[in-house]
Structure formats: structure tokens, C-alpha cells
Structure 1
């Protein structure tokens, strides 16, 4: 597989095929990330498109990039943040809307339901964490980014990223355990009342 660095060198020289290869490599993950951030797939598509346009402009001005993946995610996150601050976001009233996950035709209905419930539980639990911990956990586990890439994207020291990741995971575990307790108690209660 051709490295990102070589692809950006070729893109900087005007190679259309290299651009298409890079878009193929990162479009899906970036769209998934932006959809999760914005809760609006169409708006996410616009943000991803703008991210790639900015990449082209950057390469024309400055040449190849060493850490393309981290650069793409950082630009996309900044675009999302700018959008959240904009009057367009407030007027469209998108806050709080959720975008439905696309269903995998190969998976059975029961399996899909369980996956959606688990994803919803994790997403709900993540909301209990500070924003920076949410972002780091999401990038690490849902977007498969390395800690160094996250460090570069969020412009934080690697040690800070590690601290946020581990403390966030500890909090997430506690939140999820606390959420599981009431359902266990109701199961025990319903079992006990049916025995009588």
C-alpha cells in the first residue's frame, strides 16, 4: 500500500489518481466521525468535502504533509467546532438530533438491535465525560487513531492524551456499571415476586 506521505507528494505535484486514492482511504472514516460530531449526515458530508478542499489548497501552497491522517481529522474537527459556534447551527436547530445508523444487511435483526443498544449505551455513557475525554475515547476506539495522531490532532502533549484516555475509561466503566445496576435489581425483584 502506498503511504500517505507519498500520496500527498504526488497530489502536490497535481496527480489526480493520488488524490482519488487518498479520498478512498479516508472519506468513510471522516464522514463517520463528522456524522457523530454533528448528528447530521448531509452537513457532515459538506464538512468532509471542505476538509479535502483545504487539503488540496494546503498541498499546493506548502507541498507534502507528513501526518496526513491527523491533519485531516484536526481540520475536520475545527470545521465542526466553527459550525457549532455559527448562527447557521442555531437557526437549523440540529442540536440533539441523532442520525440513524445504517443497517448492515448481512447481520440478523436481533444482532442489529443488540449492536444499536450497545452503541446507544456507550454513546449515552460517553456524554457523562468531559468533552476532551469524549473526543479522545471516540478517536481512539471508534476511529482507530493512534495516541500520537490524537495528540497531534488535538494539539495536546502525548502524556496529556494518555491521562485523559485512561481517566476517561475509568469514569466510563463506573458510569456503565452504575447504569447496569438498576436493571439487575429489577430482574432480581421480578424473579423474587414471581416465586411467591
Structure 2
């Protein structure tokens, strides 16, 4: 993330308004307060920073941004692709953190809670974009040629190809991942690239651990099928 991120946050009117409001809000006490924080999560650095921010420490929010903005940026890139407005989405994620300040209660690692915000934002944006026109495999490949689409660097793991360095095959892999059903794609990203355990992925996407395992399995099967078909076409041409 660029060093100007915090400056950009301050320039957006809604960010300035939210930051001013929370800066003057009283510290919250009760079941979500530091004294009642669940012991399972009190060692998590993100939880401690968020609780400090909730208690009135404005510098803690800056540290949260510094610590997690890169992860948010990378995850948004995997979910939404190399879009020119990714920084706007990062800002929106942390604006939602600001808005959730008073009601935040640690029930998981901070990164899990934050990834849930990223997931919801990505789902909303995907649905909004899908409403503007049907996405096809050919259009996804075209997006890759123009620098868009989903950004994966090692999609070749466990996939049926012996020469995935070829540009057309790499594009096909990326397009196949982007064409996965939304829940499967996001579950696969969180499992393979963020290396989250299935129970944490379940908290992020709002599904059971069993359902997450099934989604990841189906995603891998769909990828194999898509790429096997692509390789057959390549060999026939």
C-alpha cells in the first residue's frame, strides 16, 4: 500500500466525518471491553489494537492500518482483480472498521473479523458488477490480457498441466478461477493463499466448517475440469 494511504483516508469526507465522530465518542465498556476480553483472543495483536482504539487510543487505529492494509489490499486483489480502484476499496474496508468501533466485540482473531468485512464488500461489488452484464470465460481471458481479472501466482498446484508457464495456459487458469462460483472462489483463496483453517474460513464466509471443506473440494474439481477441457482443445488445435 502507498504511504499516502492515511492522507487519502483523511481527504474523503465520509472518512473525516467518521473519524471525528469516533474520536469524540466515549470509550465503550462491558462485555466487549478490554477487561472482559475473551482470553482466547487477548494475545492477538490486532484484537489488542482494536480494543485500544475502542477505548480511545486513536494511534491504535493508525497502527491497525499500517499492520493490515497490505493484507487487505492483497486479498481484494485476489477477490476482485487488478482494478485501478483497489485503494478505494481498502479505504472503504477501514472506514467500516471505524464505523464498527463502538460495537466491536472480539469473538475471533482480528484478521478473521477484518476478512469478513473484505468478503462482504467483495460480494457486494461482485453482485453489483454482475448486474451490469453476464461474465463469460472469453471476457475473463480478455480481462487478463488487459491486466485485469483475478491475480494468482501459483495456480498451477495440483492442476492438470505440465507447461503452465505458457501465457495462454496461465490466462486460462486465471480465467477458470475467476469463473468459479463466488463462494467456491473465495473459499479457495482463503484456504490456499491466505492459509486459513476451515473453521476460520467458515467465520469469514458465514458457513460451517463442513460446508467450507465441500466448497474448496468442489472448487478444485471445477478447476481440474475446466483446465482439462482447455488442454484437450489445445492439443486438438
Q: Same fold by TM (over 0.5)?
A: yes
1:3-26 Cα deviation digits (max 9, x unpaired): 222121222123344323322232
Instruction: Tell me whether 39-48 or 115-124 shows the greater mean CA deviation.
Output: 115-124
1:31-90 Cα deviation digits (max 9, x unpaired): 122234334634321122121121122123345563322222222232233344559x84
Between the aligned partners of 1:170 and 1:11, the Cα distance in structure 2 is 43
Equivalent pairs, count: 172
Q: Does residue 32 of the first structure (1) align with residue 74 of the second (2)?
A: yes
Q: Does residue 134 of the first structure (1) align with residue 181 of the second (2)?
A: no
Deviation at 1:2, TM superposition (A): 5.9
TM-score (norm 1): 0.68
Higher-helix-fraction structure: 1
Match of 1:6 in 2: 48
1:87-116 Cα deviation digits (max 9, x unpaired): 9x84xxxx96557389xxxxxxxxxx9497
Gaps of 5+ in 2: 1-42, 133-138, 152-163
Between the aligned partners of 1:115 and 1:143, the Cα distance in structure 2 is 26
Match of 2:88 in 1: 46
Gaps of 5+ in 1: 103-112, 187-196
Between the aligned partners of 1:124 and 1:40, the Cα distance in structure 2 is 13
Q: CA 1:128 to 1:62, structure 2 compared with 1: closer, same or farther past 3 Å?
A: closer
TM-score (norm 2): 0.58
Between the aligned partners of 1:69 and 1:164, the Cα distance in structure 2 is 21
RMSD, aligned α-carbons: 3.4
User: SS in structure 2 opposite 1:41?
Assistant: coil
Q: Does residue 164 of the first structure (1) align with residue 164 of the second (2)?
A: no
CA contact under 8 A between 1:151 and 1:161: conserved in structure 2?
yes
